[in-house]
Amino acid sequence: MNGAFFGSLVGSLCVIMILSLLWRENKAYRFGEHLLLGLSVGYATVAIWFEYLKPKWLMPLMDGIAARDFSAIAIGIVVFMLGLCWYGGYFKKTEWLMRLVVGIVIGAGAGQVIRLQFTQQMPVLTSSFRSPIMVQNGGVSWWESLNNIVFLTALISVLFFFFFTIDHRHAFPRVAARVGRFWLMVGFGAFFGNTLMTRLSALIERVWYVVDSLFR
């Protein structure tokens, strides 16, 4: 039995253990679940150290100490101290330390989000200003016009659905909101279909892996 085959065999058994939940809750599934969690956390811990913390924090700090570069040493120490503050939350007396770094993260995060939203959403917003009559090559493009009309109907009606300050007892806002709800349902349906496709792909890949490992 070579190493590759043994590895596939273990992998296949793990897949079968996890999929056994489809039959019913059992000890093999529980064992597989704990094995997966333990391995993932162990791998991630080692990988974060060697792939990120060591080259990005420890090595620059060590280089700074070796070269007597005080700015590099100060940055390394300050970052380390700030990182330690996260653990302040585990004790009542030092809880404020965690709040300090949470404040920094929230402040920086909020600033980032405002900028990101503006640069990401503005092009989407401006591209939604479409004309219901599309003129191409000197004539009306009926197909493009129909596309735009459907798009604008969906956009405006969905917006109406979320106008809670307008009295929906009047005929126009009520009908518009209903049409909006229809489009929302179409959107949720598409979303659900895509979800299904993702889950099915994951299942197909795993089942084929077991078939390939055991029977080919």
Partner 1 sequence: MLDRLARLDRLDPRWLYGALIGLIVISAYARVPLKVEPSKETRAFYDAIEKLDGTKPVLVMSDWDMGTVGELRAQFIATVRHLFLRNIKFVLVSGNVLGPRFYLEQMDLLSKEYGKQYGKDWVSFGFRLPDPKPISVESLARNFPLHVKTDRYDRPASAYAWLKKVKTAEDWGLVISVVYAEIREFLTYFVEAGRTPYAVGCAAISSTFSYPFFTAGTMSGILIGARGGGEYEQMIARREGRRSGETFGERLLIGQTAGHLLLIVGIILGNVGGYFAKRKKP
Query: What is the rounded distance in angstroms from the CA atom of residue 108 to the CA atom of residue 62?
Result: 28
Q: Which of 34, 99, 115, 170 binds partner 1 (CB under 8 A)?
A: 115
Residues 117-156 contacting partner 1, CB under 8 A = 119-120, 123-124, 126-127
Burial label, 52 (beta-carbon count in 10 A; 0-12, 13-18, 19+): exposed
Per CB under 8 A, does 206 bind partner 1?
yes
Per CB under 8 A, does 191 bind partner 1?
yes
Burial label, 184 (beta-carbon count in 10 A; 0-12, 13-18, 19+): middle
Structure tokens at 51: 């792939």
Instruction: Give the closest residue to 116 by CA, choosing from 108, 127, 105.
Output: 108
Structure tokens at 186: 């179409």
- CB 91, min distance to partner 1, A: 25
Per CB under 8 A, does 23 bind partner 1?
yes
| Binding region for partner 1 (CB under 8 A) | 19, 22-23, 43-44, 47-48, 51-52, 55-56, 59, 105, 108-109, 112-113, 115-116, 119-120, 123-124, 126-127, 187, 190-191, 194-208, 211-212
